[in-house]
Amino acid sequence: MAQRRKSSKPRKEPDPEIRRLPGWLQLAVLAVMLGAAAALWAGRDYVSAVVAGVTGSEKSSQSANRQTEEGVPVVVAKVGESRDDAIVGAIGTGRARQSVMLFPDETGEIQHVFVAAGDRIEKGQPIMRLDSREAELAVQVAKTRLIEAERTASRAEQLQRKKISSQANVDDARNLVDRAELELQQAEVALADHEIKAPFDGVVGIPKVERGDRVSPSTDVLTIDDRSELIVEFEVPEQFHSRIKVGQEVDAHTPSYRERVFEGVITHIDSRIEPVSRTMTVRAGIPNKDDLLRPGMSFVVDLTIPGKMYPSVPELALQWRKGASYVWRVRDKKAERVEVSSVKRLNSTILIRGDISKGDLVVVEGVHRLRPGRLVRFGEPGAVPSS
């Protein structure tokens, strides 16, 4: 057999300390070392932040000191002024300035109709005439009696001057003349009642009768409307009684002309409040120069009731804390807290009541950094619309 050759290099003996550790313990030590390395790697950002935090806090402190010296940056606006107006809307029905239904004064047959529906007529213009032959005869009889009475009185006066007749006979004759004159006047009035005339300027409605119809004083024949101005009555709540005056303007809308606004004025205010509805009746006149409106139309009337003037601020300027409202006002570049109360909210502004006036500066943005007496800095202030 061949013999194995022995190496000429000396064999390295293992470290006796390592040789004493078991294999599982060596693995545990290795795992701990790897975990520590991973933890250091994951916390590298925190360590960097801690190191940088020292420098950052110093910078923050310097920035805060600079803001304290120069003032906290804010956005301000000038306080405006607006009126606390109230708009009352109501529904009413229009009627003509003057409107009448005509009835004949006498009974008879209609002989003539002088107008048609829609005609414009003037005061005193004839509209209809009844058969007046009997009335005309009565006038002629009355005139004849008056002539006879005047002749009798003339003869009595002549006889009295000749001392033939007494003064009593003359007086009786004069009384007959007076009576004949009255009878003539009655006959003429009866004749005039057979003709219907316009009581005022206006527009004729559709006649309800025709020529040849027999009418009586209870027969309605036609209507006349003076629609140069329409009257609209509507109800206003009692709370506005002291704020409504005759002459105030109103805006009226009607479904017939949806895109058009008809302007009018208040002409009358009722003298009492309705105890059930707690409202009062208000009457407005709406001019109808273009003759577009008709009696009976429905109207929605908007009445603007002027109120008191109040300071107005942007919505962002009003702050709340513990149930109380306030604004930050700027005076001498310093912020001060002013207690106010809200009166009314408009589109983008709020009417307020408090120790604040038009033209004051209030903080709109940056309020969370303010304290009483703190310096502020700002650019050109905005303006709140006034009305």
Domain map of the chain by residue range?
71-84+308-383, 89-95+223-305, 104-127+197-220, 132-193
| Residue 382 or 282, more confident | 282
Position 128 pLDDT exceeds 90: yes
Most confident of 33-42, 276-285, 340-349: 276-285
Check if CATH label 3.30.70 holds for domain 132-193. no
Position 35 pLDDT exceeds 90: no
Ramachandran region, residue 203 (left: φ > 0; alpha: ψ -120 to 50; beta: rest): beta
pLDDT of residue 294: 94
Contacts within 8 Å (CB) and 24+ apart, 60-63: none
Q: Which two tokens stand for residue 44?
A: 């590298």
Same fold, 89-95+223-305 and 104-127+197-220: no
pTM score over 0.95: no
pLDDT of residue 59: 46
In sequence order, which ranges of the chain are alpha helices (DSSP H)? 16-20, 23-42, 44-70, 133-161, 167-192
Position 69 confidence tier, pLDDT thresholds 50, 70, 90? low
Write down how long the chain is.
387
How do the residues of the chain divide into helix, strand and coil, expressed in percent and rounded to 5?
Answer: 30, 40, 30
Position 52 pLDDT exceeds 50: no
- In angstroms, the Cα distances linking 123 to 108, 192, 198 are 24, 16, 5
Position 385 pLDDT exceeds 70: no
CATH fold of the domain at 71-84+308-383: 2.40.420
Cβ atoms within 10 A of the Cβ of 284, count? 26
According to CATH, the superfamily of the domain at 89-95+223-305 is: Efflux pump adaptor protein, beta barrel domain (2.40.30.170)
How far is it, in rounded angstroms, from Cα 303 to Cα 244?
9
pLDDT digits (tens, 9 = 90+) for 134-189: 989 999 999 999 999 888 888 888 887 877 778 888 888 889 889 999 999 999 99
- In angstroms, the Cα distances linking 234 to 44, 229, 283, 321, 354 are 81, 16, 7, 44, 37
pLDDT digits (tens, 9 = 90+) for 204-243: 999 999 999 999 999 999 999 999 999 999 999 998 888 8
- In angstroms, the Cα distances linking 241 to 128, 265, 282 are 47, 16, 10
Name the average pLDDT for the chain.
Answer: 84
pLDDT of residue 30: 72
pLDDT of residue 18: 44
Question: Dihedral through CA 89, CA 90, CA 95, CA 97, nearest 10?
Answer: -50
Which of 2.40.50.100, 3.40.50.10420, 2.30.30.140, 3.40.50.300 would CATH assign to domain 104-127+197-220? Answer: 2.40.50.100
